[in-house]
Structure 1
Amino acid sequence: MAELWKSLPSWVRNIVVPIIVLVLAWNILWFVVGVVGALIGLLVKALVVVGIAAAVVILVKKAAKS
């Protein structure tokens, strides 16, 4: 691997490789942000559904008492 790195022209090592690394890091970062955002979105939706279900249960119990 070291031979391959040393065989590259200096402009490739100093310009092209860092740009490729930055693009890959940027894509990985936004992939992680997207996954975390999706998980948080699913969690919020699940909490809303549980809250609505709890409200319905409470209202049905109150209606059954009347």
Structure 2
Amino acid sequence: MAELWKSLPSWVRNIVVPILVLILAWNLIWFVVGVVSSLIGFLIKVLLVVGLGAAVVILVKKAAKS
């Protein structure tokens, strides 16, 4: 691997490789942000469904008593 790195021209080592690393890091960061935001959205939807279900159960129990 060191031989391959040394065989590259200096402009590739100093310009092209850092730009590629920055692009890959940027994409990785946005991938993580997307996964986290989708998980948060999913949890919000689950909480909404559970809350609505609890409200329906409470209303049905109240209606059954009266």
| Superposition TM-score tier, normalisation by shorter sequence | over 0.9
Instruction: Name the amino acid aligned to 1:48.
Output: L
Q: TM-score, normalised by structure 2?
A: 0.97
Q: Deviations over 1:33-65 (max 9, x none)?
A: 111111111000000000000000000000111
Q: Percent identity?
A: 82
Matched, 1:35 2:41: no
* Count of residue pairs brought into register by the alignment: 66
> How big is the alpha-carbon RMSD for the aligned residues of Structure 1 and Structure 2?
0.5
2:5 corresponds to? 5
Q: Point out where structure 2 has 5 or more consecutive residues left out of the alignment.
A: none
- Which residue is 1:48 aligned to? 48
User: What is the distance in 2 between the residues matched to 1:26 and 1:40?
Assistant: 21
Shift of 1:30: 0.6
Normalising by structure 1, we get a TM-score of: 0.97
Paired with 2:57 and 2:46, the residues of 1 have a C-alpha distance of: 16
- Indicate the residue corresponding to 2:61 in structure 1: 61
Structure 1, gaps ≥5 residues long? none
